[in-house]
């Protein structure tokens, strides 16, 4: 039986890495074999592309170049890691996926949504997450947390507040448009409360998955 594909989304400082560990542990406790990964990245080549995307670029990076690099990394990630793992019956938990592209490159950078959608169709061929947890917090909360975590952020983390307001709005719009896939998690809560909410969402999803597949 095919495994499930779960993604975690959200802007900077909302705790995706922490909650990815929470999701993985909850799934393993439920008897699932879990593959943890991230985007951009997940394979050696995709990680190399991640370095280009997050690192400083003296000549500057065009928004369309950024978009194409994101999907180049995603194509490799899907082919080499995600699709094979799901076919083996493993559950894949990924820190960001295509919703991040709609939020960051679409809403944040202002790239036309149709352009993103065409690349999505070409690269993914219908592949979508089965569940997406959107960790949401006010922009000022996320930026404050991110600033405490690192002295100097990556190229995205150094963007101005207006950029992150657009990113958050883009994420929330995606969640409203696809309520059957998204689960909104209040990431402004204390860590223990966020983790508890995430575990509840995962437990409900596992039960529904077993019912649908049984």
Write the pLDDT tens digit of every residue in 119-158: 999 999 999 999 999 999 999 988 888 777 765 568 888 8
150 known ligand binder: no
- pLDDT per position as a tens digit, 18-72: 999 999 999 999 999 999 999 999 999 999 999 999 998 889 899 999 999 999 9
Q: Where are the alpha helices (DSSP H) in the chain?
A: 16-29, 44-54, 63-77, 83-87, 98-101, 113-124, 139-149, 161-177, 191-213
CA pair distance 212, 11, nearest whole angstrom = 32
Backbone angles phi, psi at 171, to 5 degrees: -60, -45
3 state DSSP class of 55? coil
29 known ligand binder: no
60 known ligand binder: no
CA pair distance 118, 115, nearest whole angstrom = 5
This prediction has a pTM of 0.94
213: confidence class by pLDDT, cuts 50, 70, 90: confident
15 known ligand binder: yes
Evaluate whether the domain defined by 5-213 bears CATH number 3.40.50.300: yes
16 known ligand binder: yes
CB atoms within 10 A of CB 89: 12
């Amino acid at each position: 039986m095919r495994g499930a594909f779960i993604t975690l989304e959200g802007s900077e400082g909302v705790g995706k890495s922490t909650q990815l560990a929470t999701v993985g542990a909850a799934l393993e406790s439920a008897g699932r074999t879990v593959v943890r990964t991230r985007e951009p990245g997940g394979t050696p080549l995709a990680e190399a592309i991640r370095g280009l995307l997050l690192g400083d670029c003296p000549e500057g990076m065009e928004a369309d170049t950024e978009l194409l690099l994101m999907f180049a990394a995603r194509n490799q990630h899907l082919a080499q890691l995600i699709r094979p793992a799901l076919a083996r019956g493993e559950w894949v938990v990924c820190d960001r996926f295509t919703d991040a592209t709609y939020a960051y490159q679409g809403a944040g950078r202002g790239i036309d949504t149709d352009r993103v959608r065409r690349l999505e169709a070409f690269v993914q061929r219908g592949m979508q997450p089965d569940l997406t947890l959107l960790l949401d917090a006010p922009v000022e909360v996320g930026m404050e947390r991110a600033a405490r975590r690192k002295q100097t952020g990556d190229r995205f983390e150094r963007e101005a507040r207006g950029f992150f307001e657009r990113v958050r709005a883009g994420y929330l719009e995606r969640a409203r448009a696809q309520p059957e896939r998204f689960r909104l998690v209040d990431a402004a809560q204390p860590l223990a409360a966020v983790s508890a909410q995430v575990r509840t969402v995962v437990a409900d999803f596992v039960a529904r998955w077993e019912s649908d597949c049984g």
